[in-house]
């Protein structure tokens, strides 16, 4: 019997309070409708996407511990309780957008078959996470920026979560990111000033601002400082942008070890209202209000969003809402909500393109890859046009 068939989902949490489109029932993967996503700047749990790889653990916070070990640690293994983390380390809050690397996979899937949950444009959410800094915890056990060969070291995380593809969920980030005083990597126990829900990692998760959600490991149980990336399936054989000529699992085997793991996500925007960017009223032409989101990785804010009501023939500049950002090269991990009025015709697609504070511009056409990750095109390509429009 396969590992997948042995997993028991009978103890998953009740989700009656969530208003999400289910993309996969077991493990539970779901996202909100695009127009619901942009109703508020801070995404409520009701509309926050859920990304899981196995059954949801039901953990007792009073008994949960995290072990830390590896290069630079004063002791062979250090065990910390949730009380240790809450009482002995400064609590800080970081606003950030959590985005699945597979967000908008449906656009790439229209070009050619992709492997993975077929996400729409709402596999992301903007929240305020609270907890202690990972760098503060590491400092108390001897791991600081003074550690030799810091640039070559990694912090690997393992979860309690059982998974279809591996013994548990695991991932890693460069130690330099974890120790960066401006990196804001957290061991988080709250989301929007409430304890994490089970779907979002209770009682403890890693939060890695500016990186794809795959690196923010939930249900955290171990932290290891090592001189190589995590050996987890999700670090070594997933969440990588494979070359365009790789079209199946067999071909992918040649490239998994050659392609770097994704860290920071790319510049991105999407038209959320009207849904899927289509004006459906009978008027021949009308001016309508359009709303959507934009974001970029690595702490880069959004500098500008252009919106077109005629599929890119002409553009208007949107009004931006991203409190806490000055539009320059500052640390900014939240998203940008934008608003514009555009002239549209029925059936003509409304599109957006974002520019971040480093001058990165959202691309016009999708670049297909087998895993269907990091789609940031401003066009949603239809199947009959894919061969002509896509870069494949």
Strand order in the sheet with 286-295: 268-273, 286-295, 336-344, 319-321
The residues, ordered by sequence, that sit 6+ positions from 154 with a Cβ below 8 Å of its Cβ are 172, 173, 174, 175, 225, 226, 227, 228, 229, 230
pLDDT block averages, 10 residues each, the chain of length 392: 68 97 97 97 98 97 97 92 98 97 96 95 98 97 93 97 93 97 95 98 98 98 98 97 95 96 97 84 82 96 95 95 70 96 89 96 94 92 46 43
Q: Among 3.90.420.10, 1.20.1330.10, 3.20.20.370, 3.50.50.60, name the CATH number for the domain at 45-252.
A: 3.90.420.10
> What are the boundaries of each domain within the chain?
45-252, 268-361
Residue 3 has a pLDDT of 41
Residue 283 has a pLDDT of 67
Locus of tokens 């619901």? 36
Residue 280 has a pLDDT of 74
Residue 388 has a pLDDT of 42
Burial class (CB in 10 A: 0-12, 13-18, 19+), 217: buried
Residue 164 has a pLDDT of 86
Beta strand 65-70 with 220-226 is parallel
Residue 285 has a pLDDT of 81
Task: Report whether CATH 2.60.40.650 matches the domain 268-361.
Answer: yes
State the pTM of this model.
0.94
Query: What is the Cα–Cα distance from 226 to 175, expressed in whole angstroms?
Result: 9
Q: Residue 324's closest CA among 339, 316, 334?
A: 334
């Amino acid at each position: 019997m396969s590992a997948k068939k042995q997993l028991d989902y009978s103890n998953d949490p009740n989700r009656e309070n969530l208003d999400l489109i289910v993309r996969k029932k077991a493990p539970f993967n779901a996202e909100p409708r695009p127009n619901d996503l942009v109703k508020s700047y801070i995404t409520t749990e009701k509309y926050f996407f859920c990304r899981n790889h196995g059954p949801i653990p039901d953990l007792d916070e009073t008994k949960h511990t995290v072990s830390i070990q590896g290069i630079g640690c004063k002791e062979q293994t250090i065990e910390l309780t949730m009380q240790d983390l809450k009482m002995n380390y400064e609590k800080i809050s970081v606003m950030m957008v959590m985005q699945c690397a597979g967000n908008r996979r449906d656009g790439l899937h229209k070009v050619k078959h992709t492997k993975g949950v077929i996400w729409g444009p709402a596999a992301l959410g903007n929240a305020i996470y609270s907890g202690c800094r990972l760098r503060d915890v590491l400092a108390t056990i001897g791991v600081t920026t003074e550690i030799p060969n810091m640039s070559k070291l990694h912090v690997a995380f393992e979860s309690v979560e059982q998974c279809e593809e591996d013994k548990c969920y695991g991932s890693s980030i460069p130690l330099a990111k974890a120790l960066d005083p401006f990196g804001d990597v957290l061991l988080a126990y709250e989301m929007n000033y409430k304890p994490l829900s089970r779907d979002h990692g209770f009682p403890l998760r890693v939060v890695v601002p500016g990186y794809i959600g795959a690196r923010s490991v939930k249900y955290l149980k171990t932290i290891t400082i090592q001189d190589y990336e995590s050996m987890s399936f999700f670090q070594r054989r997933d969440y990588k942008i494979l070359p365009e000529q790789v079209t199946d699992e067999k071909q992918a085997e040649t490239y998994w070890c050659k392609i770097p793991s994704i860290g920071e996500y790319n510049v991105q925007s999407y038209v959320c209202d009207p849904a899927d960017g289509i004006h459906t009223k009978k008027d021949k032409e009308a001016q309508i209000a359009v709303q959507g989101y934009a974001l970029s990785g690595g702490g880069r804010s959004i500098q500008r969003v252009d919106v077109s009501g005629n599929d890119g023939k002409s553009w208007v500049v949107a009004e931006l809402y991203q409190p806490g950002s000055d539009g320059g090269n500052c640390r900014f991990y939240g998203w940008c909500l934008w608003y514009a009025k555009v002239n549209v015709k029925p059936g003509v697609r409304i599109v957006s393109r974002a520019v971040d504070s480093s001058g990165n511009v959202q691309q016009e056409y999708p670049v297909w890859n087998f895993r269907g990750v990091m789609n940031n095109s401003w066009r949603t390509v239809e199947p009959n046009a894919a061969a002509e429009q896509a870069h494949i």
